[in-house]
Amino acid sequence: MNPIKIVEICSELGAAQLGASMGPDAIRMAAHKAGSHFFSEHPIIRLPERNALLADKNHNPGCRYAKRLRYILETCQIACNTVTDTLERGEFPLVLSADHSSAAGVIAGVKQAYPNERLGIIWIDAHSDMHSPYTTHSGNMHGMPLGAVLALDQEARTLLGASSNELPLAAQKQWTHLKELGGIVPKVLSEDLILIGVRFFKPEHSILIDKLGIKLYSVEDIREKGTEFYTSLIEQHLQWCDKIYLSFDVDSLDCETVSQGTGTPEANGLYLNEAIVLIQTIMANPKVCCLEISEVNPVLDDKGNAMGEAAWQVLEAALVRS
């Protein structure tokens, strides 16, 4: 692995609940508790954020189908350029993000660094995060990063028909700008996206996943045939990709056995030991050029800092490659 640079993105403007901004620090505390010097041994860059807006009673979040998109776009632009710069310097960007909306910028940064190379995405998450402002019910941007990088607006709106959302012109332009970060649209082909652990999605997303040939491996699949079987299958499926971006949302973990310390916890997820083996095996592939760990929320943790500690164990397993 190339030298690691830690990129901390503490913006939580895309989440439904407060507290994710403390996620990167929760992981750092867990590492310190475990006796690791990892965070003092690698350079860290913490990107600017606009979380103070959330405490401003007069703040207008803008379009209700794309809350705070104007400011999230700023964060994603900075993330895009930071990741590109990190990769061009020959470093490995380890991204610790608060809410998952920033992944749109991180992926754009990877693609901007490698514009002529085929990018694969491995998305370990309880949710498909393929919404757009046209299809969302909540308007929370942390459910839209894959919608932005895949640029599937028309396909999704066709499925929804008359029930798709109408956006004001400003929101339309901001969403287009988000999709165009890094100068390439789409960032990834649908057949080069693999979803792991997704177990909560709208019916239209299930149809879209099938229609576009997106690979989806459930927790039950992994449990039935084993991690080794599916990591081998993943490597084979992405064999024509030159680079791979790996995202791990901690809500992919089983909230009953691990922790509720994430914005949208879901039951029946991966056990911690399963996630550790999965990440460790995927990271052994030299094509993986960026790892993002997202959505730790210590404010919601019902077991102290259990989710931060779980995220650290996953990260520590990933570092074996280095």
Check residue 5 and give its pLDDT.
99
Residue with tokens 């895309």: 14
pLDDT band at 322 (very low <50, low <70, confident <90, very high): low
Q: Which of 5-9, 24-28, 155-159 has the lowest mean pLDDT?
A: 155-159
Reported for 204-208, long-range contacts at CB under 8 A and 24+ positions apart, including other chains, are: 204/135, 204/156, 204/159, 204/160, 205/128, 205/130, 205/131, 207/159, 208/130, 208/152, 208/155, 208/156, 208/159
Q: Which amino acid is at 94?
A: L
Q: Is the pLDDT of residue 161 over 70?
A: no
What are the distances in angstroms from CA 106 to CA 28, 33, 100, 179, 181?
21, 29, 10, 12, 10
Mean pLDDT of the chain: 95
Question: Which residue, 321, 215, 315, 212, is CA-closest to 272?
Answer: 315
pLDDT band at 98 (very low <50, low <70, confident <90, very high): very high
C-alpha span between 128 and 252 (Å, rounded)? 11
The residues, ordered by sequence, that sit 6+ positions from 116 with a Cβ below 8 Å of its Cβ are none
Check residue 160 and give its pLDDT.
61
Identify the three-state secondary structure at position 110. Answer: helix
Rg (CA), the chain: 18
Check residue 201 and give its pLDDT.
78
High-pLDDT (> 70) share of the chain, %: 98
C-alpha span between 121 and 237 (Å, rounded)? 11
Backbone angles phi, psi at 262, to 5 degrees: -155, 160
Identify the three-state secondary structure at position 195. Answer: strand
Check residue 202 and give its pLDDT.
76
The residues, ordered by sequence, that sit 6+ positions from 25 with a Cβ below 8 Å of its Cβ are none
pLDDT band at 224 (very low <50, low <70, confident <90, very high): very high
Q: What is the pLDDT of residues 126-142, one digit of tens each?
A: 999 999 999 899 999 99
E strands within the chain? 4-9, 44-46, 92-97, 119-124, 193-196, 215-217, 243-249, 288-294
Asked if residue 164 lies in contact with residue 148, where contact means CB atoms within 8 angstroms, the answer is no
H-helix or E-strand containing 108? helix 103-113
Check residue 162 and give its pLDDT.
55
DSSP one-letter code for 21:
G
Distance, CA of 161 to chain centre: 28
Question: Which residue, 288, 240, 283, 213, is CA-closest to 117?
Answer: 240
Q: What is the pLDDT of residues 188-220, one digit of tens each?
A: 999 999 999 999 877 777 888 988 899 999 999
Q: Which whole number is the average pLDDT over 103-112?
A: 99
Check residue 321 and give its pLDDT.
66
Is pTM beyond 0.95 here? yes
Q: Which whole number is the average pLDDT over 251-278?
A: 96
Question: Which residue, 65, 64, 209, is CA-closest to 136?
Answer: 65
CATH assignment of 4-321? Answer: 3.40.800.10
Question: Which residue, 53, 101, 52, is CA-closest to 78?
Answer: 101
Q: Which of 45-59, 100-114, 182-196, 284-298 has the lowest mean pLDDT?
A: 45-59
Q: Which whole number is the average pLDDT over 163-192?
A: 95
Four-CA torsion 190, 255, 270, 125, nearest 10 degrees: 10
Four-CA torsion 295, 300, 302, 304, nearest 10 degrees: 70
